A and B are shown apart, each in its own frame.
Chain A
Amino acid sequence: MFAVTTLIAVSFSIGSFRIAEAEKPFLYAVLLWIILVFSALSGLSRSFVKEEEAGTMDVLRLSARPRAVFLGKLFFNLTLLGALELIIVPLFILVMKYKIEFPGFFAAMLISAGLGLGAGTTIVAAMIAQASARGALFSALSFPLLLPLMITAIKGCERAAVGIDTAGWPEVRIAIAYVVIMVVMSLFLFPLIWEE
């Protein structure tokens, strides 16, 4: 809902004619990722808070192994992100008349950066569920971790739209490396957070 509202606000105030043709690929990539990241953050922060509020955390602690809980939450978050991208990206392309030269690269960038978004924030969500001032803390903790990924994703989407120098898809590879590192380290560190 938040995502659609932002998209409408952006599209209404900017339209597809206000921005000069040359600036479009870059500015659209920035706008798209701002919408995606902010709406994702508002949803992802809830994943563990929900359990804490419903009082089901303790049951989960007793009945499941920590890594199983982490993987379950990760896949839930990734599904959520996938659904979000599936709704927002086609809408954004339609409304903003976003021309993309390399749809394959663009899609790979969206998928890999979406995975990174989920991988980087799930463990943070687990931490903030046990802290005070959750919402604000979640963004504060997530941004520094996500910034390299966001910069890469914006660059990648811009390049896919313009259609320059995409041999080997370097941005996608960086995003995948980020996903792997974050998931592996989270699997290591999550039991420490969970068992406290």
Chain B
Amino acid sequence: MIYKVFLTIWMAVILVAAFLYTEAATGFPGETSRILFFHVPQAWVATLSFLLSMIASCVYLARRNVKADDLALSAAELGFLFCVLATVTGSIFAKASWGSFWNWDPRETSIVILLMIYGAYFALRSAVADPEKKRVFAGVYAILAFLTVPFLVFVIPRITASLHPEDTMNPANPGMDPKTLKVFLGSLLAYTALFVWMLRLRMRILRIEGNRIEGFRD
């Protein structure tokens, strides 16, 4: 409860600070650089949950612990949600900044493939009836899909140059405005905390559903 209240206040503060406290970065049309505080944490959470889902899948395949599979599924579901959010916000930024909603920029290509992997993962889960088999197959697929990611990261940027802003908005860059950096890190924290909260909620729901089904069988 206290976690939820704190998270709400924290996110509200970040939201206000993102628009009022920081100044828009130069080199971007109008106020568009403020996307940094929302889009980047969303993409970060999408990637994080993808990684988490893969690790949980490995744990499940090794230990056959249903809880690990619940974690893999919850992380994949939330990852999909944040992936969609990142795609939509990124696309709006692309329209404002480059003049087109979609242009197969390397970043756009890789996020579409990420969405496709998540979609395939859910399709596989819904197509296998036996629950034990479903978990194993989903785990195997998650690992296989994760293995193709390095290829995307290394292969696609070699082929076409990306328009995605890197230097001006990269927090590792010393040129970043300290105010912006503060709010950005705060936002990253807020989104990660939000993700953890939602993840725990989703896992609880899955556990309750699992109990109910098992009780029904007895």
| A contacts, CB < 8 Å to B | 123-124, 127-128, 130-133, 137, 140-141, 143-145, 147-149, 151-152, 155, 170, 174, 177-178, 181-182, 185-186, 189, 192-193, 196
What are 13 A-to-B residue pairs whose CB atoms are below 8 Å? A127-B140, A130-B128, A143-B120, A144-B120, A144-B148, A147-B113, A151-B156, A152-B151, A181-B147, A185-B144, A189-B61, A189-B140, A193-B137
> Nearest Cβ distance between residue B98 and chain A, in whole angstroms?
21
Q: Is the CB of A192 within 8 A of B120?
A: no
Which residues of A have CB within 8 Å of B158?
Answer: 170
Best-buried of A132, A133, A147, A170 by chain B (most CB within 10 Å): A147
A144, B155: Cβ atoms closer than 8 Å: no
Is A144 in contact with B113, judged by CB distance below 8 angstroms? yes
Question: Which of these, B113, B127, B151, contacts A178 with CB under 8 Å?
Answer: B151
Q: Which residues of the partner chain A approach B120 to less than 8 Å between Cβ atoms?
A: 140-141, 143-144
Instruction: Indicate which residue in A133, A151, A185, A196 contacts B147 across the interface (CB closer than 8 Å).
Output: A185
B145 x A151 contact (CB < 8 A): no
Q: Is the CB of B155 within 8 A of A127?
A: no
Residues in A with CB closer than 8 Å to B141 are: 124, 127, 141
Q: Across the interface, do B144 and A193 meet the contact criterion of CB distance under 8 Å?
A: no
Complex CA distance for A192 and B141, rounded to whole angstroms:
12
Q: Which of B124, B152, B156 contacts A131 (CB 8 A)?
A: B124
Interface contacts beyond A127-B141, A144-B117, A185-B147: sample of 14 additional A-B pairs, CB < 8 Å, sorted by A? A128-B127, A130-B128, A131-B127, A131-B128, A131-B137, A141-B120, A144-B116, A145-B144, A174-B155, A182-B147, A189-B140, A192-B61, A192-B140, A193-B140
A141 & B124 in contact (Cβ 8 Å cutoff): yes
Contact A151 B155 (CB under 8 A): yes
The residues of A that contact B161 with a CB separation of less than 8 Å are: none
Q: How far is the CA of A131 from the CA of B123 in the complex (A)?
A: 10
CB < 8 Å neighbour of A141 from B123, B136, B143, B151: B123
- The contact string, 1 if C-beta is below 8 Å from chain A, for chain B 57-89, is 000010000000000000000000000000000
